[in-house]
Amino acid sequence: MSHIIDHLQVPYYAVIFSSIHSEDLEGYREMDARMQDWVARQPGFLGFESARQAIGLTVSYWESLEAIAAWRRDPQHQQAQQQAPRWYRHYRVRICRVEREYGV
């Protein structure tokens, strides 16, 4: 992930996923790559930004809460979610409404 998502029109929604990996990452990379492809094809998906050091942060942007809810229920995504307790020691998901943005 090497660019910043830009020029979105407020209001829209952000999902902040903060995580700390466990030691067992078997199958994680493949699933992560698959989910990155798959999420990009979901209705209402606007883009995502991601970085990981001691903790991982992935912020995905969406047109609506309905689009976020549909993604959460998506069968392929649910298969991935089932493995979250194995790959993450700790995680937090925050659903946010973006009110304002600026930058250069």
Q: Which stretch binds a copy of itself (CB under 8 A): 4-12, 26-34, 36-44, 73-81?
A: 4-12
28 contributes a contact to a copy of itself by CB under 8 A: no
Residue 29 CB: number of other CB atoms within 10 A?
9
Tokens of 25: 């990452």
* Alpha-carbon span 26 to 59, nearest angstrom: 23
86 contributes a contact to a copy of itself by CB under 8 A: no
C-beta of 46: minimal distance to a copy of itself in Å? 12
From the list 45, 49, 62, 87, which residue makes contact with a copy of itself (rule: CB under 8 A)? 49
Three-state DSSP at 77 gives: helix
Q: Which stretch binds a copy of itself (CB under 8 A): 21-29, 31-39, 56-64, 75-83?
A: 56-64
Q: Which of 47-75 are b and which e, b meaning 16 or more Cβ less than 10 Å from the residue's Cβ?
A: bbeeeeeeeeebbbbbbeeebbebbeebe
Residues that bind a copy of itself (CB under 8 A): 1-6, 14, 16, 18-20, 49-57, 59, 65, 85, 88, 90-104
